Structure 1
């Protein structure tokens, strides 16, 4: 394998990773007259953008604020979000032809419902601004040299070594290895002695094993609007029963706050009181069975699956006080102890990453390694489901661009 040493380049910075953060960083740097080079491992940039939201790309959330982010330092994102707001994201994309439409809970998608339109904005701007992109570039090492950095990458069976004054790590996190995800950002941080907050899959389905697994399997495909909570967080959205456990938006959300061995709790009828509903129905007709009553609230299949937990064959008039307590407890405090999660291949994002203690919140530069920056998913900043993580990617890319 041959190596070509290029002692200097005229790039102001080399950006590792052509995802949301790296692309925004390159474009914003270009607006400031700075030259950057993106090194992307895949054969095209924006791989995760293209699959996000089922290929539709939920590119921000109207309600994004520091409150929707998990980090060891809950205040860390405030500076970046002050520098690049949701309005900035909306205006940026509108300027280049993408108008957003809100689906639910503030989630903004392109009117076209095509994620490739989002990527196209960046690739065209990079071309127009003279920002260089090299794909199928597998970065091997980053080292300090001559007041800057050398970056060695492998391409076409040869190793190219470039030098630049600054380096941006926007290489993403561990989820979805088939999309090119690696631990490169974390490995690089460790090589520079930078602290890492323990990582784990986040926004990920939860698994059920053992004696309860068959019960969940029989309900596969059933979706119910619920409130899901633990002692850290609470979410009201749909849950989805699957062959291996639980998924759906509410489960993905709570997974970021769940730890192995813990319980989660589900209110299967949020904002209503099952006992009061039963009492009201009794006044109309007490002859209806609990099964038929529950079939009016849920699917018949779900109501039937509660046999063994609830006296579903009893008519409403004959339900005792004890029966009502059991019903109330199951419907409003359904208790689940997941066995685990579906792992990084099914996770939307990664929890943990480069410690925010190591970075300047104003510039995202590593405090003890001047000229080295980290942004996007490899930093210990994890957003909720619904466009929040994209907002962090855009904001962190913008902030870094101002400082390289």
Structure 2
């Protein structure tokens, strides 16, 4: 018997094991992969954007926008920073509050947890795939798992589901957490890929493909929210930070709007240039604002061959529309294998916001990505993982 069996050696599960160890509780982590922290290791290009300085509940999507407030009050961004600094990892802000380990790599983040688990006597069993979780008559759980071809069992009064979401299959991602929740009668909020590139098909597909590899700073928006960061044209559509951000708020059939010049007004620039050199073509002006490839491509939509002095009222309206209100109707997204995280998951109404324990099943906890709490791009989802792991550890009986 252990104080808890944790399913998943990702960010939430590892933090939960360490925090439980600080409190003198013995846990065992069952992980199907060959090494712990698979998603940590690839995050941020192998550098791990492990939190965000500006993280608040407003940076998360959930059916209950207030649910994560309790966890974030128990484990703050400052707690995350202090925790890693204690073990030799100091943060360096990149952009927009994104904190990366200065002089360290993602593997150093994982090593903090594996070394602490060893010191605290917490077991991590790799290549251990959980097959069944059953609630026994005495209220405890029996967990059956397969390790290197052999079926084994372990019992515990508490089970922590920290098995992540559906992205990324090649890292061992499955719907295990959702299946467990359904088995025990918990409601699931419909899931979908989030922080994911968007695809463009149809008559405009070739235009986007022709710009593949070009990046531009934009304001990307829909009726609900907007983000100002770079977008990246690809041979299948759009990617880049601003697109990944808006994808979490995008729904199939909707359009998004691109402001291709969010910091300036194109009509004012044209008027200024007219006074200095009215013979300059619109193409030359656009080439000063964008790469030549993008400027040339805009000829499909704009009278780029005209001199600035010869642009009429209709021309100016068209230019303003296409530069500041460029409409795109994505055909879809690139799916879970290209998504950073999953949207939706275990319904927060099924869980205590203070402890993350199931309201229906005593001793069953859910944390991290499998819960209906989805953060923005830039370290927010790690902050939720650390916080939920800490909350669960401190709630164990």
Q: Select the residue among 272, 284, 289 that pairs with 1:292.
A: 284
Q: Distance in 2 between matches of 1:121 and 1:364?
A: 24
Q: Distance in 2 between matches of 1:308 and 1:68?
A: 37
RMSD value over aligned CA atoms? 0.5
Q: Distance in 1 between matches of 2:104 and 2:49?
A: 9
Aligned residues of 2:89 and 2:104 also touching (Cα < 8 A): no
Match of 2:184 in 1: 192
Unaligned runs of 5+ in 1: 1-8
Aligned residues of 2:53 and 2:99 also touching (Cα < 8 A): yes
Match of 2:358 in 1: 366
Q: Which moved more, 1:58-67 or 1:154-163?
A: 154-163
Q: Distance in 2 between matches of 1:121 and 1:166?
A: 25
Q: Distance in 2 between matches of 1:335 and 1:32?
A: 54
Q: Does 1:177 align with 2:169?
A: yes
Q: Does 1:269 align with 2:261?
A: yes
Alpha-carbon offset, residue 308 of structure 1: 2.4
Unaligned runs of 5+ in 2: none
Alpha-carbon offset, residue 271 of structure 1: 2.4
Q: Distance in 2 between matches of 1:129 and 1:232?
A: 46
Task: Report the 3-state secondary structure (helix = DSSP H, G, I; strand = E; otherwise coil) of the residue aligned with 1:306.
Answer: helix
Q: Distance in 1 between matches of 2:314 and 2:148?
A: 72
Alpha-carbon offset, residue 113 of structure 1: 4.2
Q: Distance in 2 between matches of 1:262 and 1:207?
A: 13
Alpha-carbon offset, residue 306 of structure 1: 1.0
Aligned residues of 1:171 and 1:378 also touching (Cα < 8 A): yes
Task: Report the 3-state secondary structure (helix = DSSP H, G, I; strand = E; otherwise coil) of the residue aligned with 2:135.
Answer: strand
C-alpha deviations, 1:269-325, integer Å up to 9, x for none? Answer: 002110001100111101110001000000011011011210000010100011011
Match of 2:96 in 1: 105
Task: Report the 3-state secondary structure (helix = DSSP H, G, I; strand = E; otherwise coil) of the residue aligned with 1:232.
Answer: coil
Q: TM-score, normalised by structure 1?
A: 0.97
Task: Report the 3-state secondary structure (helix = DSSP H, G, I; strand = E; otherwise coil) of the residue aligned with 1:124.
Answer: helix
Q: Does 1:335 align with 2:327?
A: yes
Q: Distance in 2 between matches of 1:174 and 1:399?
A: 23
Q: Does 1:75 align with 2:73?
A: no
Task: Report the 3-state secondary structure (helix = DSSP H, G, I; strand = E; otherwise coil) of the residue aligned with 1:311.
Answer: coil
Aligned residues of 1:57 and 1:113 also touching (Cα < 8 A): no
Match of 2:36 in 1: 45
Q: Distance in 2 between matches of 1:112 and 1:44?
A: 23
C-alpha deviations, 1:126-149, integer Å up to 9, x for none? Answer: 000000000000100111012110
Match of 1:4 in 2: none
Task: Report the 3-state secondary structure (helix = DSSP H, G, I; strand = E; otherwise coil) of the residue aligned with 1:150.
Answer: strand
Match of 1:118 in 2: 109
Match of 1:6 in 2: none
Q: Does 1:214 align with 2:221?
A: no
Aligned residues of 1:55 and 1:113 also touching (Cα < 8 A): no
Q: Does 1:140 align with 2:125?
A: no
Task: Report the 3-state secondary structure (helix = DSSP H, G, I; strand = E; otherwise coil) of the residue aligned with 1:307.
Answer: helix
Q: Distance in 2 between matches of 1:122 and 1:112?
A: 18
Match of 1:129 in 2: 120
Alpha-carbon offset, residue 158 of structure 1: 1.3
Q: TM-score, normalised by structure 2?
A: 0.99
C-alpha deviations, 1:325-367, integer Å up to 9, x for none? Answer: 1000000000000000000000000000000000000000000
Match of 1:305 in 2: 297
Match of 2:52 in 1: 61
Q: Does 1:235 align with 2:227?
A: yes
Q: Distance in 2 between matches of 1:156 and 1:185?
A: 22
Task: Report the 3-state secondary structure (helix = DSSP H, G, I; strand = E; otherwise coil) of the residue aligned with 1:181.
Answer: coil
Aligned residues of 1:41 and 1:137 also touching (Cα < 8 A): yes
Q: Distance in 2 between matches of 1:283 and 1:195?
A: 64
Q: Does 1:165 align with 2:149?
A: no
C-alpha deviations, 1:149-185, integer Å up to 9, x for none? Answer: 0100011211111110100000000001000100000
